[in-house]
Amino acid sequence: MGAGAVGSTFAYTLAQSGLADEIALIDKNENLVQGQVLDLAHGQPFFPTVTIHAGDPSDYADAQLIVLTAGATQQSGETRLHLLEKNVAVVRAVVSDILKQNSKAVMLVVTNPVDVMTYVAQKLTGWNRERIFGSGTVLDSARLRHMLSVYCGVDVHNVHGYILGEHGDTEFAAWSMSNIAGMQINSYCPVCGRCIDWAGERTRIEQKVRESAYHIIDYKGATSFAIGLTLVRITAAVLRGQRSIFSVSTSLDGEFGIHDVCLSVPCIVSEEGIVRIVESDLPENEQTQLFASAIVLKEAINQLDKDN
Ligand SMILES: NC(=O)c1ccc[n+]([C@@H]2O[C@H](COP(=O)([O-])OP(=O)(O)OC[C@H]3O[C@@H](n4cnc5c(N)ncnc54)[C@H](O)[C@@H]3O)[C@@H](O)[C@H]2O)c1
């Protein structure tokens, strides 16, 4: 759903992955859909067999996964929360179409501000929280892993770490969950011995992750490649029932002491969607930061309730 920068890059990457049998692209801009579908279809000799076509709401009926990327984007200097009003209208329209089709799909929300849009979509569908979740901070966690990999001089696949909370300005690095070679990152540092100011550097890395989207949007107008890959990785977990752990955005019901707000915490994702929220004991400073994200997101939700 959405054939713009994010939706089309996701479709392109998904087509090459061999994960999907059928990809239907839906967008209110029908010319864009036709162009994207033709352009993708002409690449078919070079990737695994997959049917790619312009879709319509009837495709929701037997979809296994609906990925919502339709909506307004951040302009230079805008925060994700600026998009609230515009994108609630988009989510409302899409959800209405999905419900009419009696869809049994899992739904992955990407449209920003993704935490609030996930919350709104979940309330409007009435689906259980396992089945509808947001891409949350999976992309931000990938950015963190990339930056740590470069800084520590270790293959990114051997660097684990999570950004939690809001996919936005209050997100934070959960350093207690970040590790290299099975060692918490703070314990790895003395063993590695490469850096001279880890405390300062980790603050700089965290800030750089938080500001990444702003910089990319300033440079090229949108983010697309890394989010496309992120979405394919989450799609693999759903289509292949992989039980992968991601920091996706989910509705909390008392976990981490937070109620009735969607934000990112580590979750196990599989065929049915989120099969488990991995609730761990966060150190006090990280728990405080998670609460701070929850407060900001709750305020955004309350603002919406007032306006509607
Ligand atoms: N969660 C994340 O990590 C993440 C990362 C990047 C972008 N995003 C968000 O994804 C969304 C899409 O970004 P983009 O760069 O692809 O934008 P884009 O403008 O390139 O594409 C958006 C598409 O949505 C379509 N659209 C808008 N309203 C619609 C409606 N009611 N029905 C059907 N189609 C509709 C537009 O025609 C357009 O083609 C934005 O909200 C952006 O902020 C999220």
CB 163 within 8 A of CB 171: yes
Q: Sheet harboring 65-68: ordered strands across?
A: 65-68, 106-109, 132-134, 244-253, 259-270, 273-277
Whole-number Å distance, alpha carbon 68 to ligand 1 midpoint, is: 8
Question: Each residue of 207-266: pLDDT tens digit?
Answer: 999 999 889 989 998 899 999 999 999 999 999 999 999 999 999 999 999 999 999 999
pLDDT of 89 reads 92
Which of the residues 82, 167, 215, 259 is marked catalytic?
A: 167
Whole-number Å distance, alpha carbon 69 to ligand 1 midpoint, is: 5
pLDDT of 76 reads 75
Does residue 134 have a pLDDT over 90? Answer: yes
Nearest to 134 by CA among 159, 160, 168, 102: 168
Question: Each residue of 260-296: pLDDT tens digit?
Answer: 999 999 999 999 999 999 998 999 999 999 999 999 9
Query: Which atom of ligand 1 approaches the CA of 139 most closely?
Result: 3
Ligand 1: which residues within 6 Å by Cβ? 2-7, 27-29, 32, 69-74, 83, 87, 90, 93, 110-112, 114, 135, 139, 167, 222-223, 227
Whole-number Å distance, alpha carbon 6 to ligand 1 midpoint, is: 7
Of 31, 68, 73, which is best to mutate to test ligand 1, by the most ligand atoms within 8 angstroms of its C-beta? 73
Of 1, 6, 78, 83, which is best to mutate to test ligand 1, by the most ligand atoms within 8 angstroms of its C-beta? 6
Distance CA(51)–CA(56), nearest Å, equals: 15
What pTM does this model have?
A: 0.96
Residue with CA at minimum distance from ligand 1 atom 6: 223
Whole-number Å distance, alpha carbon 5 to ligand 1 midpoint, is: 7
- What is the three-state SS of 192-260? HCCCCCHHHHHHHHHHHHHHHHHHHHHHHCCCCHHHHHHHHHHHHHHHCCCCEEEEEEEEEECHHHCEE
Question: Each residue of 34-89: pLDDT tens digit?
Answer: 999 999 999 999 999 999 999 999 999 999 999 999 998 877 777 777 888 889 99
Of 1, 8, 9, 27, which is best to mutate to test ligand 1, by the most ligand atoms within 8 angstroms of its C-beta? 27
User: Confidence band (pLDDT; 50, 70, 90) for 299?
Assistant: very high
Whole-number Å distance, alpha carbon 60 to ligand 1 midpoint, is: 18
Residue with CA at minimum distance from ligand 1 atom 32: 28
Residue with CA at minimum distance from ligand 1 atom 2: 110
CA dihedral 131, 19, 244, 151 (to 10 degrees): -130
Residue 167 annotated as catalytic: yes
CB 220 within 8 A of CB 211: no
Distance CA(210)–CA(139), nearest Å, equals: 11
When the pLDDT of each residue in the chain is averaged and rounded to a whole number, the result is: 94
Nearest to 147 by CA among 183, 173, 177, 115: 173
pLDDT of 307 reads 67
